[in-house]
Amino acid sequence: MRRIVYLDNAATTKLSKHAKNAMLPYLEDSYGNPSSVYSFAGDAKNAVEDSRKKIANAVGARPEEIFFTSGGTESDNWAIVSAAELKKEKGKHIITSAIEHPAVMSTLEHLEKKGYEVTYLNVDGYGRISLDGLRKAIRDDTILITIMTANNEIGTIMPVPEIGTVAKENNILFHTDAVQAVGHVRVDVNEMNADMVSFSGHKFGAAKGVGALYVKRGLRLPPLIYGGGQERGRRSGTENVAGIVSMGAALEDITARLPLTNVMRLRDRLIDGVLKNIPRTRLTGDPVNRLPGIASFVFEAVEGESMLLMLDQYGICASSGSACSSGSLDPSHVLLAIGLAHEEAHGSLRFSLSEDNTDGDIDLVIEKLPGIIEKLRRMSPLWNEGK
Ligand SMILES: *Cc1c(COP(=O)(O)O)cnc(C)c1O
Protein backbone atom coordinates (compact mmCIF):
# COMPACT_ATOMS: atom_id res chain seq x y z
CA MET A 1 0.00 0.00 0.00
CA ARG A 2 1.08 3.53 -0.78
CA ARG A 3 2.50 5.43 2.15
CA ILE A 4 -0.10 7.73 3.65
CA VAL A 5 1.03 10.72 5.65
CA TYR A 6 -2.09 11.49 7.61
CA LEU A 7 -2.14 15.10 8.78
CA ASP A 8 -5.89 15.61 9.05
CA ASN A 9 -6.52 14.53 12.62
CA ALA A 10 -8.80 17.48 13.31
CA ALA A 11 -11.20 15.92 10.79
CA THR A 12 -10.98 12.49 12.36
CA THR A 13 -8.40 10.22 13.94
CA LYS A 14 -7.41 6.63 13.47
CA LEU A 15 -9.00 4.26 15.97
CA SER A 16 -6.30 3.75 18.60
CA LYS A 17 -5.12 0.17 19.26
CA HIS A 18 -6.16 0.56 22.86
CA ALA A 19 -9.68 1.65 21.89
CA LYS A 20 -9.99 -1.07 19.28
CA ASN A 21 -8.99 -3.84 21.67
CA ALA A 22 -11.36 -2.54 24.31
CA MET A 23 -14.35 -2.38 21.95
CA LEU A 24 -13.88 -5.68 20.09
CA PRO A 25 -15.66 -7.89 22.66
CA TYR A 26 -18.74 -5.68 22.34
CA LEU A 27 -18.77 -6.13 18.57
CA GLU A 28 -18.56 -9.89 19.00
CA ASP A 29 -19.67 -11.88 22.02
CA SER A 30 -20.99 -9.27 24.47
CA TYR A 31 -23.80 -8.07 22.26
CA GLY A 32 -26.52 -7.75 24.91
CA ASN A 33 -28.72 -4.69 25.21
CA PRO A 34 -27.64 -2.79 28.33
CA SER A 35 -31.30 -2.27 29.27
CA SER A 36 -32.14 -6.00 29.41
CA VAL A 37 -32.50 -7.63 32.81
CA TYR A 38 -30.77 -11.00 32.32
CA SER A 39 -27.19 -11.30 33.44
CA PHE A 40 -25.85 -11.79 29.90
CA ALA A 41 -26.67 -8.12 29.21
CA GLY A 42 -25.04 -7.05 32.46
CA ASP A 43 -21.65 -7.15 30.83
CA ALA A 44 -22.66 -4.51 28.29
CA LYS A 45 -24.27 -2.38 30.96
CA ASN A 46 -21.18 -2.55 33.16
CA ALA A 47 -18.99 -1.66 30.20
CA VAL A 48 -21.05 1.46 29.53
CA GLU A 49 -20.88 2.54 33.17
CA ASP A 50 -17.18 1.78 33.34
CA SER A 51 -16.61 4.00 30.31
CA ARG A 52 -18.71 6.76 31.88
CA LYS A 53 -16.43 6.67 34.94
CA LYS A 54 -13.29 6.82 32.83
CA ILE A 55 -14.57 9.82 30.90
CA ALA A 56 -15.76 11.59 34.04
CA ASN A 57 -12.36 10.96 35.61
CA ALA A 58 -10.50 12.36 32.64
CA VAL A 59 -12.34 15.70 32.77
CA GLY A 60 -12.96 16.15 36.49
CA ALA A 61 -16.70 15.40 36.31
CA ARG A 62 -18.94 13.00 38.22
CA PRO A 63 -20.06 9.94 36.26
CA GLU A 64 -23.71 11.00 36.54
CA GLU A 65 -22.82 14.26 34.77
CA ILE A 66 -21.70 12.44 31.59
CA PHE A 67 -24.35 11.58 28.97
CA PHE A 68 -23.51 9.58 25.87
CA THR A 69 -24.57 10.88 22.47
CA SER A 70 -23.87 10.11 18.82
CA GLY A 71 -21.04 12.66 18.65
CA GLY A 72 -20.02 16.27 18.87
CA THR A 73 -22.77 17.50 16.59
CA GLU A 74 -25.53 15.95 18.67
CA SER A 75 -23.96 17.17 21.91
CA ASP A 76 -23.82 20.74 20.56
CA ASN A 77 -27.39 20.56 19.28
CA TRP A 78 -28.69 19.14 22.52
CA ALA A 79 -26.91 21.63 24.77
CA ILE A 80 -27.98 24.68 22.78
CA VAL A 81 -31.53 23.74 21.82
CA SER A 82 -32.40 22.41 25.25
CA ALA A 83 -30.80 25.28 27.17
CA ALA A 84 -32.77 27.68 24.96
CA GLU A 85 -35.96 25.75 25.68
CA LEU A 86 -35.27 25.57 29.40
CA LYS A 87 -34.64 29.30 29.81
CA LYS A 88 -37.09 30.75 27.30
CA GLU A 89 -39.19 32.36 30.03
CA LYS A 90 -36.18 34.38 31.16
CA GLY A 91 -35.21 35.50 27.66
CA LYS A 92 -34.21 34.58 24.16
CA HIS A 93 -30.75 36.09 23.77
CA ILE A 94 -27.69 33.93 23.17
CA ILE A 95 -24.04 34.94 22.87
CA THR A 96 -21.49 33.03 20.80
CA SER A 97 -18.29 33.68 18.87
CA ALA A 98 -17.92 34.32 15.14
CA ILE A 99 -15.70 31.24 14.71
CA GLU A 100 -17.80 28.35 16.02
CA HIS A 101 -18.09 24.98 14.31
CA PRO A 102 -21.10 24.50 11.99
CA ALA A 103 -22.64 22.19 14.61
CA VAL A 104 -23.04 25.29 16.79
CA MET A 105 -23.55 27.89 14.05
CA SER A 106 -26.33 26.01 12.28
CA THR A 107 -28.09 25.22 15.53
CA LEU A 108 -28.09 28.91 16.42
CA GLU A 109 -29.40 29.82 12.96
CA HIS A 110 -32.22 27.37 13.56
CA LEU A 111 -33.02 29.09 16.87
CA GLU A 112 -32.91 32.52 15.22
CA LYS A 113 -35.69 31.38 12.92
CA LYS A 114 -37.66 30.45 16.03
CA GLY A 115 -37.40 33.94 17.51
CA TYR A 116 -34.14 33.75 19.46
CA GLU A 117 -31.58 36.51 19.04
CA VAL A 118 -27.89 35.69 18.73
CA THR A 119 -24.87 37.97 19.24
CA TYR A 120 -21.80 36.75 17.35
CA LEU A 121 -18.74 38.13 19.15
CA ASN A 122 -15.92 39.29 16.93
CA VAL A 123 -12.50 37.78 17.40
CA ASP A 124 -9.07 39.36 17.08
CA GLY A 125 -6.44 38.41 14.50
CA TYR A 126 -5.52 35.33 16.52
CA GLY A 127 -9.14 34.18 16.87
CA ARG A 128 -9.71 35.18 20.49
CA ILE A 129 -12.82 36.88 21.79
CA SER A 130 -12.40 39.77 24.18
CA LEU A 131 -13.80 39.34 27.68
CA ASP A 132 -14.74 43.00 27.68
CA GLY A 133 -16.70 42.48 24.49
CA LEU A 134 -18.42 39.52 26.11
CA ARG A 135 -19.39 41.55 29.20
CA LYS A 136 -20.76 44.34 27.02
CA ALA A 137 -22.86 41.90 24.99
CA ILE A 138 -24.68 40.59 28.07
CA ARG A 139 -28.29 41.76 28.44
CA ASP A 140 -31.07 41.11 30.92
CA ASP A 141 -32.54 38.52 28.56
CA THR A 142 -29.26 36.66 27.86
CA ILE A 143 -29.77 33.01 28.70
CA LEU A 144 -26.81 31.20 27.19
CA ILE A 145 -23.19 31.73 26.22
CA THR A 146 -21.80 29.10 23.86
CA ILE A 147 -18.14 29.52 22.94
CA MET A 148 -15.79 26.79 21.79
CA THR A 149 -12.80 25.67 23.86
CA ALA A 150 -10.49 25.46 20.85
CA ASN A 151 -11.00 26.19 17.19
CA ASN A 152 -10.85 23.36 14.68
CA GLU A 153 -9.44 25.40 11.77
CA ILE A 154 -6.78 27.60 13.36
CA GLY A 155 -6.17 25.82 16.68
CA THR A 156 -6.71 28.86 18.90
CA ILE A 157 -7.58 28.06 22.50
CA MET A 158 -10.20 30.41 23.98
CA PRO A 159 -10.00 31.85 27.53
CA VAL A 160 -12.67 29.41 28.67
CA PRO A 161 -12.31 29.57 32.47
CA GLU A 162 -12.64 33.36 32.27
CA ILE A 163 -15.66 33.14 29.96
CA GLY A 164 -17.23 30.68 32.40
CA THR A 165 -16.62 33.07 35.28
CA VAL A 166 -18.35 35.91 33.43
CA ALA A 167 -21.29 33.60 32.70
CA LYS A 168 -21.52 32.51 36.33
CA GLU A 169 -21.35 36.08 37.67
CA ASN A 170 -24.27 36.97 35.43
CA ASN A 171 -26.28 33.83 36.11
CA ILE A 172 -26.14 32.74 32.46
CA LEU A 173 -25.70 29.15 31.31
CA PHE A 174 -22.34 28.41 29.68
CA HIS A 175 -21.80 25.72 27.06
CA THR A 176 -18.47 25.03 25.42
CA ASP A 177 -17.76 22.87 22.38
CA ALA A 178 -14.60 21.15 23.60
CA VAL A 179 -14.49 18.64 20.76
CA GLN A 180 -11.00 19.69 19.62
CA ALA A 181 -9.68 20.06 23.15
CA VAL A 182 -10.71 16.86 24.92
CA GLY A 183 -7.95 14.29 24.55
CA HIS A 184 -5.55 16.95 23.24
CA VAL A 185 -5.10 19.34 26.13
CA ARG A 186 -6.04 18.98 29.77
CA VAL A 187 -9.75 19.65 30.20
CA ASP A 188 -11.36 20.12 33.60
CA VAL A 189 -15.05 20.97 33.58
CA ASN A 190 -14.83 22.69 36.96
CA GLU A 191 -11.93 24.93 36.01
CA MET A 192 -13.91 25.80 32.88
CA ASN A 193 -16.85 26.98 34.99
CA ALA A 194 -19.02 25.31 32.37
CA ASP A 195 -22.57 24.02 32.67
CA MET A 196 -22.35 21.92 29.51
CA VAL A 197 -19.33 20.60 27.59
CA SER A 198 -19.42 18.74 24.26
CA PHE A 199 -17.04 15.88 23.40
CA SER A 200 -16.55 13.65 20.38
CA GLY A 201 -14.78 10.28 20.46
CA HIS A 202 -13.43 10.17 16.91
CA LYS A 203 -11.35 13.30 17.48
CA PHE A 204 -9.17 11.47 20.04
CA GLY A 205 -8.77 7.90 18.83
CA ALA A 206 -12.20 6.40 19.57
CA ALA A 207 -14.74 5.11 17.06
CA LYS A 208 -16.83 7.45 14.93
CA GLY A 209 -20.42 8.16 15.87
CA VAL A 210 -20.05 8.44 19.62
CA GLY A 211 -19.68 11.47 21.86
CA ALA A 212 -20.77 12.84 25.18
CA LEU A 213 -22.26 15.88 26.80
CA TYR A 214 -21.23 16.91 30.29
CA VAL A 215 -24.24 18.41 32.07
CA LYS A 216 -23.47 19.95 35.42
CA ARG A 217 -25.31 18.39 38.34
CA GLY A 218 -28.51 20.24 39.10
CA LEU A 219 -29.08 21.48 35.56
CA ARG A 220 -32.31 19.83 34.39
CA LEU A 221 -31.56 19.93 30.69
CA PRO A 222 -34.59 18.62 28.77
CA PRO A 223 -33.94 15.81 26.28
CA LEU A 224 -33.43 16.41 22.59
CA ILE A 225 -34.20 12.77 21.76
CA TYR A 226 -37.19 10.98 23.23
CA GLY A 227 -37.80 7.27 23.51
CA GLY A 228 -37.05 4.38 25.82
CA GLY A 229 -35.53 6.47 28.58
CA GLN A 230 -31.87 5.46 28.37
CA GLU A 231 -29.26 7.78 29.91
CA ARG A 232 -31.61 8.41 32.83
CA GLY A 233 -34.32 9.65 30.52
CA ARG A 234 -32.20 12.40 29.02
CA ARG A 235 -31.00 10.74 25.84
CA SER A 236 -33.02 7.81 24.62
CA GLY A 237 -31.85 5.16 22.18
CA THR A 238 -30.04 1.87 22.66
CA GLU A 239 -26.48 2.67 23.61
CA ASN A 240 -23.64 2.42 21.09
CA VAL A 241 -21.93 0.05 23.51
CA ALA A 242 -18.79 -0.70 21.52
CA GLY A 243 -18.37 2.96 20.60
CA ILE A 244 -18.87 4.08 24.17
CA VAL A 245 -16.30 1.53 25.36
CA SER A 246 -13.83 2.76 22.73
CA MET A 247 -14.31 6.32 23.89
CA GLY A 248 -13.63 5.56 27.56
CA ALA A 249 -10.57 3.51 26.66
CA ALA A 250 -9.17 6.09 24.23
CA LEU A 251 -9.65 9.01 26.59
CA GLU A 252 -8.22 7.24 29.63
CA ASP A 253 -5.23 6.17 27.57
CA ILE A 254 -4.40 9.54 26.02
CA THR A 255 -5.13 11.58 29.14
CA ALA A 256 -2.31 9.74 30.89
CA ARG A 257 0.09 11.02 28.24
CA LEU A 258 -0.88 14.71 28.31
CA PRO A 259 0.64 17.13 27.58
CA LEU A 260 1.41 15.85 24.06
CA THR A 261 4.95 17.20 24.02
CA ASN A 262 6.12 15.22 21.00
CA VAL A 263 3.10 16.29 18.95
CA MET A 264 3.86 19.91 19.88
CA ARG A 265 7.49 19.45 18.89
CA LEU A 266 6.50 18.07 15.48
CA ARG A 267 3.93 20.85 15.05
CA ASP A 268 6.55 23.50 15.77
CA ARG A 269 9.03 21.85 13.39
CA LEU A 270 6.37 21.94 10.70
CA ILE A 271 5.47 25.57 11.39
CA ASP A 272 9.12 26.66 11.37
CA GLY A 273 9.92 24.66 8.26
CA VAL A 274 6.97 26.02 6.30
CA LEU A 275 7.46 29.66 7.34
CA LYS A 276 11.20 29.49 6.69
CA ASN A 277 11.01 27.81 3.30
CA ILE A 278 7.98 29.45 1.73
CA PRO A 279 7.86 33.24 1.32
CA ARG A 280 4.68 35.28 1.78
CA THR A 281 3.14 32.72 4.11
CA ARG A 282 1.45 33.32 7.44
CA LEU A 283 0.59 31.14 10.38
CA THR A 284 -3.10 31.46 11.30
CA GLY A 285 -4.36 31.29 14.86
CA ASP A 286 -2.77 32.08 18.19
CA PRO A 287 0.97 31.34 18.04
CA VAL A 288 1.10 30.49 21.75
CA ASN A 289 -2.31 29.39 22.99
CA ARG A 290 -2.93 26.82 20.32
CA LEU A 291 -3.81 23.15 20.13
CA PRO A 292 -0.79 20.85 20.23
CA GLY A 293 -1.50 19.32 16.83
CA ILE A 294 -2.62 22.18 14.61
CA ALA A 295 -0.35 23.93 12.10
CA SER A 296 -2.47 26.20 9.91
CA PHE A 297 -1.33 28.64 7.28
CA VAL A 298 -2.36 30.97 4.51
CA PHE A 299 -0.22 31.20 1.39
CA GLU A 300 -0.48 34.24 -0.80
CA ALA A 301 -1.90 33.68 -4.30
CA VAL A 302 -2.57 29.96 -4.05
CA GLU A 303 -5.83 28.12 -3.85
CA GLY A 304 -6.39 25.65 -1.03
CA GLU A 305 -8.03 23.00 -3.11
CA SER A 306 -5.13 22.86 -5.59
CA MET A 307 -2.64 22.47 -2.75
CA LEU A 308 -4.64 19.55 -1.37
CA LEU A 309 -4.69 17.79 -4.73
CA MET A 310 -0.95 18.20 -5.20
CA LEU A 311 -0.18 17.06 -1.65
CA ASP A 312 -2.40 14.06 -2.28
CA GLN A 313 0.00 12.95 -5.04
CA TYR A 314 2.56 12.35 -2.28
CA GLY A 315 0.03 10.64 -0.03
CA ILE A 316 -0.19 13.68 2.25
CA CYS A 317 -3.67 14.24 3.72
CA ALA A 318 -4.42 17.77 4.88
CA SER A 319 -7.34 20.14 4.81
CA SER A 320 -8.25 23.62 3.65
CA GLY A 321 -10.85 26.04 4.89
CA SER A 322 -11.27 27.36 1.39
CA ALA A 323 -13.91 26.90 -1.26
CA CYS A 324 -15.24 23.58 -2.48
CA SER A 325 -14.20 21.42 0.45
CA SER A 326 -17.56 22.13 2.01
CA GLY A 327 -19.32 22.32 -1.33
CA SER A 328 -19.62 26.08 -1.01
CA LEU A 329 -17.79 28.84 -2.80
CA ASP A 330 -17.44 31.01 0.27
CA PRO A 331 -14.17 30.92 2.15
CA SER A 332 -14.25 29.78 5.75
CA HIS A 333 -16.14 32.06 8.16
CA VAL A 334 -13.32 31.48 10.63
CA LEU A 335 -10.64 32.89 8.35
CA LEU A 336 -12.80 35.89 7.42
CA ALA A 337 -13.49 36.51 11.11
CA ILE A 338 -9.76 36.73 11.91
CA GLY A 339 -9.54 39.50 9.34
CA LEU A 340 -8.33 37.77 6.20
CA ALA A 341 -9.51 39.06 2.83
CA HIS A 342 -11.40 36.61 0.62
CA GLU A 343 -8.37 35.96 -1.63
CA GLU A 344 -6.15 35.30 1.37
CA ALA A 345 -8.65 32.96 2.98
CA HIS A 346 -8.76 30.89 -0.21
CA GLY A 347 -5.07 30.07 0.27
CA SER A 348 -5.49 28.31 3.60
CA LEU A 349 -4.05 24.96 4.56
CA ARG A 350 -4.39 23.06 7.82
CA PHE A 351 -2.20 20.20 8.98
CA SER A 352 -3.42 18.46 12.11
CA LEU A 353 -1.11 16.01 13.82
CA SER A 354 -1.52 13.05 16.13
CA GLU A 355 0.80 10.88 18.19
CA ASP A 356 1.14 8.58 15.17
CA ASN A 357 3.03 11.18 13.14
CA THR A 358 6.80 11.03 12.84
CA ASP A 359 9.66 13.34 11.98
CA GLY A 360 9.69 11.63 8.59
CA ASP A 361 6.12 12.87 7.94
CA ILE A 362 7.13 16.43 8.74
CA ASP A 363 10.28 16.11 6.60
CA LEU A 364 8.17 15.03 3.64
CA VAL A 365 5.86 18.06 3.91
CA ILE A 366 8.77 20.46 4.32
CA GLU A 367 10.46 18.85 1.32
CA LYS A 368 7.45 18.84 -1.01
CA LEU A 369 5.34 21.85 -0.08
CA PRO A 370 7.68 24.67 -1.23
CA GLY A 371 7.79 23.21 -4.75
CA ILE A 372 4.01 22.78 -4.82
CA ILE A 373 3.43 26.38 -3.78
CA GLU A 374 5.98 27.68 -6.25
CA LYS A 375 4.38 25.77 -9.10
CA LEU A 376 0.88 26.95 -8.21
CA ARG A 377 2.04 30.54 -7.85
CA ARG A 378 3.66 30.46 -11.28
CA MET A 379 0.26 29.54 -12.72
CA SER A 380 -1.66 32.04 -10.63
CA PRO A 381 -2.89 35.35 -12.10
CA LEU A 382 -2.81 36.70 -8.54
CA TRP A 383 0.88 36.11 -8.09
CA ASN A 384 3.08 39.11 -8.45
CA GLU A 385 6.68 37.97 -8.26
CA GLY A 386 8.31 41.29 -7.57
CA LYS A 387 5.98 42.50 -4.84
C1 LIG B 1 -15.65 17.58 14.65
C2 LIG B 1 -16.21 18.69 15.42
C3 LIG B 1 -17.57 18.69 15.79
C4 LIG B 1 -18.52 17.62 15.34
O5 LIG B 1 -18.27 16.39 15.96
P6 LIG B 1 -18.85 15.05 15.30
O7 LIG B 1 -18.58 14.02 16.33
O8 LIG B 1 -18.09 14.83 14.05
O9 LIG B 1 -20.30 15.25 15.08
C10 LIG B 1 -18.03 19.74 16.55
N11 LIG B 1 -17.22 20.73 16.94
C12 LIG B 1 -15.91 20.77 16.61
C13 LIG B 1 -15.07 21.90 17.09
C14 LIG B 1 -15.37 19.76 15.84
O15 LIG B 1 -14.09 19.81 15.51
Cβ–Cβ < 8 Å for 157, 286: yes
pLDDT digits (tens, 9 = 90+) for 222-244: 999 999 999 999 999 999 999 99
Cβ–Cβ < 8 Å for 134, 159: no
Pocket residue to mutate for ligand 1, from 77, 180, 333, most atoms within 8 A of Cβ: 180
* Predicted pLDDT of residue 381: 87
From the CA of 76, give the closest atom in ligand 1.
10
Average of pLDDT values for 18-26?
98
**Is the minimum distance from the CB of 72 to ligand 1 under 6 angstroms?**
yes
Per-chain mean pLDDT for the chain = 96
**pLDDT band per the 50, 70, 90 thresholds, residue 325:** very low
**Is the minimum distance from the CB of 101 to ligand 1 under 6 angstroms?**
yes
From the CA of 209, give the closest atom in ligand 1.
7
Q: 52: CA distance to ligand 1 center in Å?
A: 20
**Is the minimum distance from the CB of 319 to ligand 1 under 6 angstroms?**
no
The DSSP 8-state label assigned to residue 186 in this structure reads -
* Residues above pLDDT 90, as percent of the chain: 94
Q: 9: CA distance to ligand 1 center in Å?
A: 12
Q: Which of 201, 182, 205, 204 has its CA nearest to residue 20?
A: 205
**Is the minimum distance from the CB of 99 to ligand 1 under 6 angstroms?**
no
Q: Give pTM, 2 decimals.
A: 0.97
Q: 198: CA distance to ligand 1 center in Å?
A: 9
Q: 162: CA distance to ligand 1 center in Å?
A: 23
**How far apart, in whole angstroms, are the C-alpha atoms of residue 292 and residue 234?**
34
